Amino acid sequence: MIKFIGLQIEQIRNDFTLRLYGALLALTHLWTFFYWNRNQFFINSQSSINAEPICFPFFPNCDLFRQSISVDAWAHTLTFYLGFTILTVVFFAFRRTTTPAFFSLLFLTLMKFFLHMSNYNFMGNYHYMVYIVTALLLFAPRRRESLKVMIVGFYVAAGLLKINIDWLSGAAMIRTPALGGDLLVTSLFYVVFLELVLVFGLLHHKRWVRAITLLQLLCFHAFSWHIVGFFYPMMMFSVLSLFVLDEFIFNSKREQSENILLHLFSGRLGRSTYVVLIVFWLCQVIPFGLTTDPSLSGALRLSSLNMFDSKTQCHSLLVAKTEQGTVHLQKPMKNLGTRLSCDPLIYLNQAHQLCRANRDSKEIKQLSLTLFAKRVTEQHYKKSIDIKNVCELSNPLWAELYSGESS
């Protein structure tokens, strides 16, 4: 292992492009700091101020952990995160500090991953993709090849999710875009075509094809700024910067690069690259093997990309049976983001916390949860969750996976 890591560090040290790319990936943590620090989002989510915390299924009692840490400690954690980010960027700027740069980026990524996993409020593609890209930069044997192919894979996966009436009609938009009418619909169709077909131009051997493709993707993310905010575009600019760096540094003295596109489909890329691709696509397929519509799911889609490909509507029914009678409980937080407002994990978290609080008092004899959800373009609601007694489940947050217990 030590020899393997030493080899990875040496390869990055001897490649100016990869060192710069490492610095730009470290900058994704700066964008994360600004995003988390805006309107005290991080502090409000992590501290006891958050009256209804939500957790990932594999960390069901994350709120107990978070509340055991003071607000000041969380604030210091975020400040430390910022400081270490700046230090990592500086390390990557110099060839002689490549070793500390490697380990500081690894530590920074693990730190962010731990903070991310401590709160379901922080979920999002902007983290998912950067984790993968960072892992490939640090550990992939054929990193430049694997990185480029994987980034193209991100867009293809996103494009496949957008092949539905929600996206193509504009119904999935979370804010009113600058375009409207037929121009908007045309642009939405073109985005799908860009992500499914034209994006392969990034791997083309001709420089002008790569340049036009890259320019379109950069324009797409720049335009999306007024709809999704600054964070997602900035993260994607950092991820795509590898292609910019390659054109101006790695390929600056030659007209053509290796034909990765031809090699990809002829099976001539490195074995490790194909392994990475297979694992990635298996993760994208898993949700579709478990449910007919992953956009209405929570835990089932954790392994895959989660795009703004649809907007959902839902109604929930959380009923507590006590000795005094039946009580209909209010739904969870009202001010949830578009992705989370109908996520089953939000409602399962609420039920889980009620069950945990009821273990000693035993006031609630039975707690049932039913969730009906649909895409905004659909007429009829589908039953996402129907659990007769949530408190009988060992971990309610995985209830979507329990056959026979929730259906």
For residue 314, which amino acid is it? C
75-131 confidence digits (pLDDT tens): 999 999 999 999 999 999 999 999 999 999 999 999 999 999 999 988 888 899 999
248-273 confidence digits (pLDDT tens): 876 654 444 578 999 999 889 999 99
Instruction: Say if residue 30 is in the same domain as residue 92.
Output: yes
Q: Does 74 score more than 50 pLDDT?
A: yes
Is the residue at 307 inside a domain?
Answer: no
CA 75 distance to own-chain centroid: 24
- Overall average pLDDT of the 275-285 stretch: 96
Instruction: Say if residue 285 is in the same domain as residue 382.
Output: no
Is the residue at 406 inside a domain?
Answer: no
The last residue of a domain, from among 75, 93, 123? 123
Q: Which two tokens stand for residue 227?
A: 């709809």
Instruction: Say if residue 162 is in the same domain as residue 194.
Output: yes
Whether residue 314 contacts residue 342, with contact meaning beta carbons closer than 8 Å, is answered with: yes
Question: What contacts 275, CB < 8 A, 6 or more positions away?
Answer: none
How far is 170 from 192, CA to CA, in rounded Å?
A: 13
For residue 146, which amino acid is it? S
Whether residue 341 contacts residue 312, with contact meaning beta carbons closer than 8 Å, is answered with: yes
The last residue of a domain, from among 245, 267, 301? 301
Domain extent, residue 92, equals 1-123
Whole-model pTM? 0.92
389-399 confidence digits (pLDDT tens): 999 998 999 99
Instruction: Say if residue 51 is in the same domain as residue 158.
Output: no
How far is 91 from 208, CA to CA, in rounded Å?
A: 33
The phi and psi torsions of 338 (rounded to 5 degrees) equal: -55, -40
309-358 confidence digits (pLDDT tens): 678 889 999 999 988 888 888 776 666 666 788 899 999 999 998 998 88
pLDDT at residue 406 in the model: 41
52-70 confidence digits (pLDDT tens): 678 999 999 998 888 889 9
pLDDT band at residue 403 using 50, 70 and 90 as cut-offs: very low
Instruction: Say if residue 396 is in the same domain as residue 269.
Output: no
Instruction: Say if residue 289 is in the same domain as residue 326.
Output: no
pLDDT at residue 256 in the model: 47
The last residue of a domain, from among 301, 334, 360? 301
Is the residue at 229 inside a domain?
Answer: no
Instruction: Say if residue 354 is in the same domain as residue 271.
Output: no
Instruction: Say if residue 296 is in the same domain as residue 176.
Output: yes
Residue recorded with tokens 């001897």: 14
Instruction: Say if residue 190 is in the same domain as residue 91.
Output: no
